[in-house]
Amino acid sequence: MDIHDFIHIGVGLPKEEITIHEDSWAGGGSFGCSLEFFSRGVELFNQVYTMFEQTSQGPRELALKVLDMGLGQERVAWFSQGTPNIYEATFPRVLSKLRELTQIELDFSLYNEFSKFSAYLNIDEVEDLDGAWQKVGKELNIDVEKLKNIILPMTALYSIAEHARTLLFGINDGKLPSNTGGGYNLRVIFRRAIGFIDEFNWNIDLADVCEWHAEELFELFPEVSEHLKEVREILEVEKEKYYKTKEEALKTLKNILKKGDISKEMLIELYDSKGINPEMVKKVALNFGKKVKIPDNFYSLVVERHERVEQVHAIEKEIDLDLKNIPETKSLYYFDYTKTLNEAKVLKIIDKMVIVDQSVAYPTSGGQLHDIGTINGQKFNDVFKKGNYVIHVLDEKPKFNEGDMVHISVDKEWRKQLSQHHTATHIVNAAAREILGSHINQAGAKKTLKNSHLDITHYEQISKEIINKIEEKSNSIVDQAIKLNLSFMPRSDAEREYGMGIYQGGAVPGKNLRIVEIPGYDAEACGGTHLNNTSETGRIKILNSQKIQDGVVRLTFTAGEATNIIEKRNKRTLNDLEDLLNVKTEQIVSRVEELLDKWKKVNKALRSGKFNKKDLVLDSKGIFKGEVMPELSRILNTKEKGVYQKVRKLYDEWTSKKVKLSEISELLDNSKLKEVINKALKLKEYKIILEIVEDINQKDLKNYSSKIVNHSEELITIFIDKTEKGIILMGMIGEKGVKEKIFNIGDFLKEISGKFGGKGGGALDFGQGFINDLSINTKQLKSHILEKLNSII
């Protein structure tokens, strides 16, 4: 049935009410003739026959001609039902519920008259929107504000209904509201809908509106009802983010308004980065006596900021090579990753680069690292693609010639590890989707020898408990020993059989797609090397989860031998920690937590001078039942490989500082006081105590000095305290020296400190100095002080 028959028979229009207008269309350098189908003044359909392209030499016929069909299905429904607008025809039940909830008054008689002049308000064509509203009001003979109060709430409900439907379908297709890419469009319409809800103070939950749409559309799109719980969760998280950002941003907005006016650029920035809609800015600005002009195309301007192409992974090197007149390379790794040998004919040699007719070597592509190996025994450590050519880069110039037959060999262990990580990436992606929901899609990936990372679309950071579930599910898929299906299929067949989920990480070029299927779990269009069975993956271990951008979480993991290497290292670490802390493996977590706590306490005690003797002993023996290394990594905020070094450092510092606390305690012990005084140096009728100490709290040192000089009036104390920041000098003169004004200890320490680049001061009886040069020898400093004392006493 052609379009004319569809309009006449399907829609039921008499032939005399159908107008077909022939025209031409051009855009993007291509053009052709077009047909537009009208009835009663409305364009229902159009067809563009794109047949030519415009070149510098003139028009040229396209090799691939395209028929672009503009079939407005919703427009036909509206036209056939004769409702006031397309929204009333498209989602009548949803609008009925929204009106019942908001109790807004409908005036379709006014609306029908208004719609005749609504073209005056087209923001793409009108520069002065306020003036246009005035013009419409005049045509309708109604006050503009009254007109807006009737029309704008109606149109706001249409926007909320339409935006909710878009969010429902977008999220069901695996897209999340975010600050990047297409996800930003979802965020814009979410915020716009919330903006209308706030503006009119309506009690509308967008997740409820999504459910109403799913009910109304169930016969046409039953699949959108399958993930309503996820849609609600995602919208709730987005709403929390919006209001949290909004609350913080309002403070910023008020500060900006105090300083000056709001420009168009600032208005867009406030919405883009802070989530403050322009209507709110306008309202807050009035409180400061300022007017804000909102651009008529505001939301279009916002979206324009985010329309950019992002390249996640480079699959071709930017290098200019002349590869004309040689056949493309046939890749031999697609169906058996264990195939690591082949014979080939050398087609071209460019310096150290070799192109052959066929090769088992995998080039860096799709986030997977290249193979390494040899050609006729000569090593290559790089393989890359240029178009459909595979280029092997030798370590030195080849000893063979173009036209020679050669033997290519790929490193088996290297290939196996990369294949394990690639298949593990598909497994983890499938496991994450099962645990977190259908919105999980691959946003990027990288597979190396050391580990692999998978970037998945998710709206929040993933908890440790959920990570454990994903890891557990991943290893369950491994243990099921599922045979992978590897096949090439026409694109349309692949999409029909597996759906659009095959495009994990982005679109894949070509008419035929290589599909990698893990039956029951995952199917993806992928060109990488893969295992034959999930059991060959070995144990999968998720090392880290990190939110790398809004709406994207990175999972870093290992598989196979890479996991074995980590587990062997972790076993050595646990054995070393058992020896260091004198506990069993299951007691290590408790002992490290205790060590960390008491390390903090002894540091505080050194500053305050007060400590508990319990902090000088480690005696915790609590049992931890989970995985020890990940928990230690979390407690210490370090990677697993750095756990032992971190614990060793804490233990050594705690040990040295508890020794220091013991020394201070002993120093301040009254029973030791007489022993110290008896060792005093006699200078004439005075006794001098001149000692070097380390890291003693100044308050304790002052109290100690006071005890000494109070014990005997002829005593003079000077302590040289070497700390991490510098050398502290502290001195006191007893009662006899003060009465006789033998010298001013404050001036004395000021002079000494100054000689060594420091500062000091004080009074007759008490003084302090500080020298920040830690290279100064404290013994030489002590000798200098003693020499100076000898000269003035």
For residues 31 and 59, what is the distance between their CA atoms, to the nearest angstrom?
A: 9
For residues 401 and 730, what is the distance between their CA atoms, to the nearest angstrom?
A: 83
Pair 389, 426 in one domain: no
Quick: pLDDT tens for 162-219.
999 999 999 988 888 987 777 888 998 999 999 999 999 999 999 999 999 999 999 9
pLDDT at residue 300 tops 80: no
Pair 580, 478 in one domain: no
Pair 336, 365 in one domain: yes
Last residue of a domain, one of 664, 693, 710: 664
Name the pTM for this structure: 0.70
Q: What is the pLDDT of residue 275?
A: 63
Let me know if residue 318 belongs to a domain: no
pLDDT at residue 296 tops 70: no
Pair 680, 718 in one domain: yes
| Phi, psi (rounded to 5 degrees) for 180 | -130, 155
Pair 459, 549 in one domain: yes
* Residues composing the chain: 793
pLDDT at residue 779 tops 90: yes
CATH number at residue 388: 2.40.30.130
Task: Please say whether the beta carbons of 50 and 68 come within 8 A.
Answer: yes
Pair 101, 206 in one domain: yes
Six-digit token string for 490: 């026409």
Please name the residue that has the structure tokens 């705690």: 654
Q: What is the pLDDT of residue 578?
A: 95
Pair 270, 357 in one domain: no
Pair 171, 220 in one domain: yes
Last residue of a domain, one of 616, 648, 664: 664
Q: Return the closest-CA partner of residue 429 out of 463, 464, 454.
A: 454
Query: The domain containing residue 693 runs over which residues?
Result: 670-792
Task: Please say whether the beta carbons of 440 and 457 come within 8 A.
Answer: yes
Could you tell me the pLDDT band of residue 311, with boundaries at 50, 70 and 90?
A: very low
Tell me the average pLDDT across 499-509. 84
Task: Please say whether the beta carbons of 375 and 383 come within 8 A.
Answer: no
Which residues are CB-contacts of 307 (< 8 A; sequence separation ≥ 6)? none
Pair 34, 105 in one domain: no
For residues 616 and 607, what is the distance between their CA atoms, to the nearest angstrom?
A: 16
Tell me the average pLDDT across 564-588. 95
Let me know if residue 323 belongs to a domain: no
Pair 298, 216 in one domain: yes
Last residue of a domain, one of 74, 94, 116: 74
Q: What is the pLDDT of residue 626?
A: 86
288 C-beta neighbours (distance < 10 Å), count: 13
Name, of 22-31, 39-48, 262-271, 464-473, the range with top average pLDDT.
464-473
* Helix and strand totals (H; E) in the chain: 25, 25
Tell me what percent of the residues of the chain surpass a pLDDT of 70. 95
Tell me what percent of the residues of the chain surpass a pLDDT of 90. 62
Pair 366, 458 in one domain: no
How many structural domains comprise the chain?
6
